Structure 1
């Protein structure tokens, strides 16, 4: 029996590791931390996808020309991506019926995933955008109000996920984080049905025992609770407890298409109402203002690239690998 492939696609900090571990508690599901194995196939054709020692933008143009000069080249490329992925997923499944790939930024390449692996099941996981933003700052930036490395997720992520929900499809299943953590016994059986696996209560009671090899994934949240808890649903509100943070959050929400927010299930008026549900604490919030200024300065100075070059020099590496600048 061939391995069935499933993807969990979301923004970072949306509960994807929790969902992955719950599903991995099934004896029918194999998984690993975050494979990221498919993203290079998207990036190899995106001129602005990154820096590298071989000039990625030039390589992307050359690859696109190469594929464009092949009769039915796009279809051939899609088949080649699928032919690459299937044997790897089958090997990683190690005999289990399903391999689950949880890589949040696959939202960038959902159309390619559907074309290359048309039989794959796709679980789209969404979460309140303000909760995602708060969790990014608290988890990756030690509570500092800095998010500049995640513009891609904020701007492209919400747009791509909304587009995926509008397009739908028989192999796609929508999950809301808030519903997952508040009523897992209702949500999980439906996901299992869509994946063709049997639901067991152990997915909720024993998900912590699921072992995922690899260095990627949730470094904090999955260990914060001993059991599935809805306590995190409104936790974000405490992060936006100052007038300044709320002002910036409003501005960031204004960068998103209200139709996309509506499609995702988080209408703009509802988000704004929740953002201002309680009085802000008094004060100038100097720390957040400094964090904001430092983040803007670091982005303007291309700090990540300078950091990569410094680390390469310290490590004696021949090259400093780049990264994706979103803005």
Structure 2
């Protein structure tokens, strides 16, 4: 039976690169980003979802069902794991030993996933936190401020991943993006040893040949890089050169704190010193002030939901509440 292996990381942390290299092994199958477990696990969460079908009532109904189910909620999770495992197996085919699920937003349900899959493998992939933020702005903001749209990743997600890793470190493997690109052979040897699979040297060199099905994954790296490069390691500094961004970065590092960063493999004081050493510029300053203000409004009032309602206002019977 196919075993699941999960890469837990924030977006823009190199998970697509790791996935492409690992799937060069015939023992590892994957799809770009399945996202399978999120909607199913949220059937047990009262918060975090607004829908036309009233998500809160759905959770109550599932809870009531679990009360009459022999084994209760634990049995529900076992059956859910079995269902997803069978899907992984069918997608993987007969040759693969593992199906790799690389879904960044699994940071929201990482703890549940680890508990559900007793035979699962769990790779925690970390990246310099300011490099993640800079890459988000570059990739999805065109170089402008867009971190408000990814607060759930940068704060809740990272907090969840650190907590989950600390709780299950004896079952998991921790790697860093920086080591993956600067010392790829050593890094992937350790991963394959963790998976109890042989390391093949050509995995690292031939990953550009991997074409994963699906629309998710890294929209830029797969086009820009056809070999491992350490260029991104210092690229983040270009994104944190003006006073507004430096102020946010210092605040974010204070929130992360020494202990969390140490769990991830980074030193708080060293990162702060790197940030302070960046020459100050005024690039994008005006836009950053404007977009950070917009971000406050965006997070409070969810304009995307309002816009959806306005688009449907011509057919009034379709405008309704979401719960």
- TM beyond 0.5: yes
Distance 1:62 1:255, change over 3 A: farther
CA distance in 1 between partners of 2:312 and 2:10 (Å): 29
Please tell me whether the aligned partners of residues 161 and 264 of structure 1 are also in contact (alpha carbons under 8 angstroms): no
Please tell me whether the aligned partners of residues 13 and 136 of structure 1 are also in contact (alpha carbons under 8 angstroms): yes
Residue 108 (structure 1) shift:
2.0
- Map of 1:269 onto structure 2: 269
CA distance in 2 between partners of 1:148 and 1:40 (Å): 23
Once the two structures are overlaid, the 10-residue window that deviates more, 173-182 or 112-121, is 112-121
Residue 74 (structure 1) shift:
3.0
Once the two structures are overlaid, the 10-residue window that deviates more, 180-189 or 95-104, is 95-104
Say whether 1:241 aligns with 2:255: no
Residue 27 (structure 1) shift:
1.7
Provide the aligned length of Structure 1 versus Structure 2.
Answer: 322
Residue 174 (structure 1) shift:
0.8
Say whether 1:22 aligns with 2:29: no
Tell me, what secondary structure is at the counterpart of 1:27?
coil
Please tell me whether the aligned partners of residues 140 and 146 of structure 2 are also in contact (alpha carbons under 8 angstroms): no
CA distance in 2 between partners of 1:312 and 1:20 (Å): 40
Structure 2 counterparts to residues 69-80 of structure 1, below 5 A: 70=69, 72-80=71-79
CA distance in 1 between partners of 2:168 and 2:73 (Å): 22
Please tell me whether the aligned partners of residues 171 and 194 of structure 1 are also in contact (alpha carbons under 8 angstroms): no
Distance 1:167 1:284, change over 3 A: closer
- Map of 2:56 onto structure 1: 57
Please tell me whether the aligned partners of residues 33 and 102 of structure 1 are also in contact (alpha carbons under 8 angstroms): yes
CA distance in 2 between partners of 1:292 and 1:45 (Å): 34
Distance 1:169 1:285, change over 3 A: closer
Structure 2 counterparts to residues 149-164 of structure 1, below 5 A: 149-164=149-164
Residue 177 (structure 1) shift:
0.5
- Map of 2:66 onto structure 1: 67
* TM-score (ref. length: structure 1): 0.90
Say whether 1:33 aligns with 2:56: no
Please tell me whether the aligned partners of residues 3 and 85 of structure 2 are also in contact (alpha carbons under 8 angstroms): no
- The one-character-per-residue Cα deviations of 1:119-169 (angstroms, maximum 9, x if unpaired) are 011111011111111111111121111211211111111211211221234
- Map of 1:106 onto structure 2: 106
Please tell me whether the aligned partners of residues 28 and 100 of structure 2 are also in contact (alpha carbons under 8 angstroms): yes
- Map of 2:185 onto structure 1: 185
Gaps spanning 5+ residues in structure 2: where? Answer: none
Gaps spanning 5+ residues in structure 1: where? Answer: none
CA distance in 1 between partners of 2:245 and 2:179 (Å): 27
Structure 2 counterparts to residues 1-327 of structure 1, below 5 A: 2-68=1-67, 70=69, 72-95=71-94, 96-282=96-282, 285-309=285-309
From the two aligned structures, give the one with the greater helix fraction: 2
CA distance in 2 between partners of 1:21 and 1:162 (Å): 24
Residue 265 (structure 1) shift:
2.0
Distance 1:284 1:71, change over 3 A: closer
Residue 276 (structure 1) shift:
1.2
CA distance in 2 between partners of 1:213 and 1:311 (Å): 32
